[in-house]
Structure 1
Amino acid sequence: MTKQRPHISAVIPTWQGLRYLPACLSALRAQLGPDDEIILVDNASRDQAGAWAQRYAPDVRVVALPTNLGFAGGTNAGLAVARGELLLLINDDALAEPGCIAALWHALSEHPHAGAAAGVLTFSRHPKRIASAGITVRRDGVATDRHPGLPINALPAATQPIFGASGGLALLRRAMLDDIGPFEASFFNYLEDVDLAWRAQLRNWTCVLAPHARARHVYSATSGQGSPFKQRLLGRNRIRVLIRCLPTALLRECLPAILRYDLLAAAYALARRQPAIIAGRVEALRELPALRQQRQAIQARRTASINDLATWITPAPSPLSDLRIARQIQRLSAAT
């Protein structure tokens, strides 16, 4: 007997994403049931994305925000009004392929103790190449997409446990968010999904990859790959995640590799005249008193063992390997 799927609330934050919305919504409608809902959170878009949806997509529930709260705050606004037991997160520039939602639900139903199922994002004009197959965390403190640039057929056919799900395509259990809380709104954009994944793992909420749940994604469509804005937030939010989420034993063990990475990043920033890379880190260090308080509250609720958490931390590749991957992503995303 097939288990009945709970109701889904699909939450789509958008900012200047009107050009992608018709295709995104059409792909979702084809896969959702009559009792499911689509929530579009308009982050004060200048392209009037919310007004367009109210006029041309009356089945979509629009949450119009007076200011841009970024992915984190915008998604939280949608989650706050969502009615479903399952919460689908998908970017406005992602096109869910047929069977995507069914594959996400199948993965969660197979793993009743998992709090999230991650989908696979591919490059919009290279759908046979992986942009993200969930999140991986490294000894140098870097949290990054799994398998970027690899062919889609490199993924195993069966669901598999992974550290966490990218916010660009994920199915979450409401029970998990009730336990750990939503995204940290102050992150605005970038690594808020890593912070959420760490908080989930600390509370023994696992994540599984649904390899057949796929969506074509326009990579870094909102703020631009390699933009100073993105560099600053990545640098700032990296430090925030490490201070908030890594238990002391893991932080102590990884600290030499973390410091080495940040020193190399600072040297790269100076050599390439990209001060935003350093500015973001400095901004986070100025927040240390508040971050220590947040860390204390998060770590006090940890139920997972250090040994279990340590299994997710992978070795750090060489800087040259990182650069090669970054250049490959730039090539694959250039035409999207």
Structure 2
Amino acid sequence: MATARPPISVVIPTYHALRYLPACLSAVQAQLRPYDEIVLVDNHSRDRAGAWVRAHLPAVRVLDRPYNAGFAGGVNAGIAVARGDLILLINDDALAEPGCVEALWQALAMSPAAGWAAGVLTFSRQPNIIAGAGIRFQADGIATDRDLGLPVSALPSQPQPVFGASGGLALLRRSMLDDIGLFADFFSYLEDADLAWRARLRGWECVLAPHARARHVYSATAGVASPLKQRLLGRNRLRMIIRCLPTPLLVACLPSILAYDGMVLAYAALRRQPALIAGRLMALAEVPTLLRQRRVIQDRRTATIPALARWIEPPAGPLTTWRLQRRLARLTQPATT
């Protein structure tokens, strides 16, 4: 007998993305049931996205924010007012393909120990190429998209365990969030990886739903390699590492972490990209606060170190990373006429 699906609250934070919203909302709305809801969190967009949605899609609940709280703040605000037992996150610049919501639910229903299910994001102009199929974590402290750049034909045919889900397309149980808390106040980037670690520390699993797919405009908000993104990634990477890695794993990974950051700092100085340095300095200034947060998070750990260690993958290596970045740059180039 099929498991009855609990109500879903779709939470979509938006910021200056009115050009994408009509398609995003329409695609999701077509897959919901009468008892589900959509909560759009308008992060003080200058394009008046919230006003447009109120006028044209009255079934959507709009939550206006007085300032831009980023992805993390927007999602947390939406979850706070959402009514569903399940929370569906999808980026405002993503287009859910038919069957996406049902595939997420089926994967989650088949995995009682899973607190969330990861969807598959593909590139908007090349939907046969994977932009991310959940999150993977490396020994050098990099949390990145799984299967980035691979063809969708490489996806498994059935749901499978993954380290965590991207906040760009995921279905979360409210019970997991009640246990581990909401997204960390990272503004944007790596708040989903931080959540993945906190879920793992408490024994929550994550499952990939390979048939739940959405076409995504990659880094539409901040740009693929903008100074803002570089600064946030540098800061949030160290925040996540300090907060979440248990001491035995942190000690084991520390040489690789330091080697990676050393290469990044040398690259930043050579290429005159100060944002890469500034983000790390911001995190270092927060160390006392981060250590207090770490104590709270680690004191609640129930998972064993071996169970956590199995999710830490070897570093990709500089050459592999460079090739992947080159391919990503090609995949995200603006269309030409």
TM class by smaller structure: over 0.9
What is the distance in 2 between the residues matched to 1:233 and 1:15?
Answer: 17
What is the distance in 2 between the residues matched to 1:319 and 1:270?
Answer: 17
Look up the match of 1:101. 101
Conserved in 2, the CA contact under 8 Å of 1:136 and 1:143?
yes
Secondary structure (helix, strand or coil) at the match of 1:334 reads: coil
Task: Give the letter for the 2:327 counterpart.
Answer: Q
Is 1:159 matched up with 2:144?
Answer: no
Conserved in 2, the CA contact under 8 Å of 1:183 and 1:196?
yes
Task: Give the letter for the 1:22 counterpart.
Answer: P
* Pairwise CA distance, 1:208: 0.3
Secondary structure (helix, strand or coil) at the match of 1:120 reads: strand
* Pairwise CA distance, 1:3: 1.3
- Deviation track 1:23-45 (CA, whole Å, cap 9, x = no partner) reads 00110111000100000000000
Task: Give the letter for the 2:267 counterpart.
Answer: Y
Equivalences for residues 170-319 of structure 1 within 5 A: 170-185=170-185, 187-319=186-318
What is the distance in 2 between the residues matched to 1:121 and 1:333?
Answer: 14
- Deviation track 1:196-215 (CA, whole Å, cap 9, x = no partner) reads 00000000000000000000
- Deviation track 1:27-67 (CA, whole Å, cap 9, x = no partner) reads 01110001000000000000000111111110000000000
Secondary structure (helix, strand or coil) at the match of 2:196 reads: helix
Task: Give the letter for the 2:42 counterpart.
Answer: D
Identity of aligned residues (%): 66
Deviates more, 1:238-247 or 1:321-330: 321-330
Structure 1 moving runs of 4+ over 2 Å: none
Task: Give the letter for the 1:66 counterpart.
Answer: P
Conserved in 2, the CA contact under 8 Å of 1:125 and 1:335?
no
Secondary structure (helix, strand or coil) at the match of 1:9 reads: strand
What is the distance in 1 between the residues matched to 2:330 and 2:135?
Answer: 21
Is 1:325 matched up with 2:295?
Answer: no
Look up the match of 2:20. 20
Q: Considering only aligned residues, what root-mean-square deviation do their CA atoms show, in Å?
A: 0.6
Is 1:147 matched up with 2:147?
Answer: yes
What is the distance in 2 between the residues matched to 1:292 and 1:4?
Answer: 42
What is the distance in 2 between the residues matched to 1:78 and 1:65?
Answer: 10
Task: Give the letter for the 2:207 counterpart.
Answer: V
What is the distance in 1 between the residues matched to 2:334 and 2:280?
Answer: 31
Gaps of 5+ in 1: none
Task: Give the letter for the 2:228 counterpart.
Answer: F
Look up the match of 1:64. 64
- Deviation track 1:225-253 (CA, whole Å, cap 9, x = no partner) reads 00000000000000000000000000000
Say how many residue pairs are matched: 335
Deviates more, 1:242-251 or 1:322-331: 322-331
Conserved in 2, the CA contact under 8 Å of 1:135 and 1:165?
yes
* Pairwise CA distance, 1:321: 0.8
TM-score, normalised by the number of residues in structure 2? 0.99
What is the distance in 1 between the residues matched to 2:159 and 2:202?
Answer: 21
What is the distance in 2 between the residues matched to 1:122 and 1:116?
Answer: 19
Task: Give the letter for the 1:67 counterpart.
Answer: Y
Look up the match of 2:89. 89
Task: Give the letter for the 1:37 counterpart.
Answer: E
